Structure 1
Amino acid sequence: MKRIITAIFALGLSLSPATAQEETGDLDEGFSLMEEGAKMLMRGLIAEMEPAMDDMRKSLEDFAPVMGEFAREIGPAFAELLSQVDDFRNYETPEFLPNGDIIIRRSPDAPVWIPDGDLGEIEL
């Protein structure tokens, strides 16, 4: 009985490295196929996105001059606004009224602020 068990055990040990190598080969082939599938998927996505990316690039090129003009027109008005406001953290969240007016109140705990230049009233 011991001889049979020893013979089966020896036979099992001699076959296991061959089986392990064969499984590793299948596993490597499986990973290779998955890698190739992932590459094909990415190529397909890139090919489908290319026209949309070209359209977006063209739109941005058309939009650049408009944004430049907007910045030139708004820049001075924005600088004037910043000269009338000390620190945005000293103000509460804007309140939108039903009639369309927007009120931005100064926080009650904000320090006293005196605007540069004219110390008179600010025209709203």
Structure 2
Amino acid sequence: MKRLFIPVTLVAALATPSFAQDDDGDSLSLMERGARMFMEGILKEMEPAIDDLGALAEEFGPAMRSFAQQMGPALRDLMEQVEDWSAYDAPEILPNGDIIIRRKPDAPDYVPKEGEIEI
């Protein structure tokens, strides 16, 4: 994340329009110096948060890979079965831990596919 933030910030700083230079033309204008100091300050303030985010990503990386390996096939099957996600409400967790996804009341009637048993 840190590797991505610094180049994006530099590109943003370079993409801003240049302001009028001092009379001698060699030094930065007051606005440019102020913008540079502002960006350097932001980078210094954000560095600990970016480092923490990188550590968090390293910590959760193996768990997320494991989750994707275990749940990937089941989620793929679910995605193939549901044709229109807009016909469903947000998932709901019941007190016993079950997760249900209800059809919206105004959704069109469900028509089972051939060979599918309606429960």
TM-score category of the 2 structures, normalised to the smaller one: 0.5 to 0.7
* AA at the equivalent of 1:49: M
Identify if the C-alpha distance between structure 1 residues 98 and 89 changes in structure 2 by more than 3 Å, giving closer, same or farther.
Answer: closer
Question: How many residues get paired?
Answer: 93
Percent identical among aligned pairs is: 39
Q: Could you tell me the TM-score, scaled by structure 1's length?
A: 0.51
For residue 81 of structure 1, the aligned residue among 78, 82, 90 is 78
Contact 1:95 1:104 in 2 (8 A): yes
Which one is further off, 80-89 or 63-72? 80-89
Which one is further off, 55-64 or 76-85? 76-85
**Which of the pair is proportionally richer in helix?**
1
Greater gyration radius: 1
* AA at the equivalent of 1:72: Q
Contact 1:83 1:115 in 2 (8 A): no
Contact 2:91 2:102 in 1 (8 A): yes
**Deviation string, structure 1 residues 41-86 (Cα, Å, up to 9, x no partner):** 2112212211221221121122221111111122222233334433
Q: Which structure 1 residue ranges, 4+ long, deviate > 4 Å from structure 2? A: 94-103, 106-109
Cα RMSD between the aligned structures? 3.6
Q: Could you tell me the TM-score, scaled by structure 2's length?
A: 0.53
Contact 2:87 2:104 in 1 (8 A): yes
Q: Unaligned stretches of 5+ in structure 1?
A: 1-23
Q: Which one has more relative contact order, counting CA pairs under 8 Å at least 6 apart?
A: 2
